[in-house]
Amino acid sequence: MPRRLRLSLKPAKQLLWFFLWWDMRLSRAKEIGIDAGCGRMENKHLFRTERYVGIDVDTERLAEAHRQHPDAQVINGPIEDAGDVVGDMVLCVQVMHNRFFKVENTLAAVSALVKMVRPNGALIFNFGRPSFPYEAQVDALLAPAFTSVKKRKYGALSANQTVFAPLLALAMFVIPALRKGRGFHKTYYVCRGRIGG
Ligand SMILES: C[S@@+](CC[C@H](N)C(=O)[O-])C[C@H]1O[C@@H](n2cnc3c(N)ncnc32)[C@H](O)[C@@H]1O
């Protein structure tokens, strides 16, 4: 089945959906996918894994998502406490700048996400400006845990809404220099090849 592209009226968010549309190919032929902070499971369709596990702290939202996706396995609780759950493709997007997320838990959350990834697995996550003070420590945590860590800065036009968002995001996808500008406050990580675990 072809992967559906999520749409947004916000160019920066649309760019994130382009990134995921491309990078979630990493989940192909993997066994367990974990969507940490899954919300309504709107990224579930991007997982090419045999199994899908959704983690979320919001009990009602998770229950509703589970009703829509009864094949999912669900865990109700904070990511920071879910480090014992393991998978081959771990995704955590639009979570660490969510109002439910305590920014001082950034390192604990990233540490739990890293712990979830099985050997040779991959981790994709993003965060916004409030987490930037922790960025150097996050990088230090990731470097010895993965064979490859790629980081992209983006966020231009994050506050704007326009029907041209897909076009603007496509331009930003192809030409990285366009990702700068007002709202350039987001970091997107793709980590591959979990070492040890
Ligand atoms: C904006 S939604 C994003 C949902 C989904 N990742 C997406 O891209 O559509 C943020 C979700 O993160 C969840 N969340 C926030 N802090 C969390 C935490 N510490 N542990 C687990 N879930 C958390 C919220 O309950 C919410 O469902």
Compute the distance from residue 86 Cα to the ligand 1 centre, in Å: 18
* CB of residue 39 inside a 6 A radius of ligand 1: yes
Asked if the model's pLDDT at residue 1 lies above 60, the reply is: no
Q: Which two tokens stand for residue 148?
A: 């490859």
* CB of residue 55 inside a 6 A radius of ligand 1: yes
Question: Mean pLDDT, the chain, as a whole number?
Answer: 93
Q: Give the bridge partners for 122, in sequence order.
A: 89
DSSP conformational letter for 28: T
E strand intervals along 15-128: 32-36, 51-56, 73-76, 87-92, 117-128
Identity of the residue numbered 124: I
* CB of residue 101 inside a 6 A radius of ligand 1: yes
Rg (CA), the chain: 16
CA-to-CA dists, residue 90 to 135, 159, 161, 166, 178, angstroms: 19, 27, 29, 26, 28
pLDDT in tens, 43-80: 999 999 999 999 999 999 999 999 999 999 999 999 99
Compute the distance from residue 162 Cα to the ligand 1 centre, in Å: 25
Asked if the model's pLDDT at residue 189 lies above 80, the reply is: yes
Residue 105 phi/psi, 5-degree rounding, is -95, 10
Ligand 1 pocket, mutate which of 41, 92, 98, 127 (most atoms under 8 A from CB) = 98
Ordered domains of the chain (ranges, CATH): 24-160+184-194 (3.40.50.150)
Are 86 and 62 in contact, with CB atoms under 8 Å apart? no
Cβ neighbour number for residue 11 with a 10 Å cutoff: 28
Q: What is the mean pLDDT of residues 71-95?
A: 95
Distance CA 65, CA 45 (A): 13
Q: What is the mean pLDDT of residues 105-134?
A: 96
- pLDDT, position 5: 87
Residue 75 phi/psi, 5-degree rounding, is -130, 120
Instruction: Name the residue at shortest CA distance from atom 16 of ligand 1.
Output: 101
Place of tokens 């001082």: 104
* CB of residue 88 inside a 6 A radius of ligand 1: no
Distance CA 168, CA 184 (A): 15
* CB of residue 43 inside a 6 A radius of ligand 1: yes
pLDDT in tens, 130-166: 999 999 999 999 999 999 999 999 988 777 889 988 9
Identity of the residue numbered 2: P
Asked if the model's pLDDT at residue 84 lies above 80, the reply is: yes
- pLDDT, position 184: 81
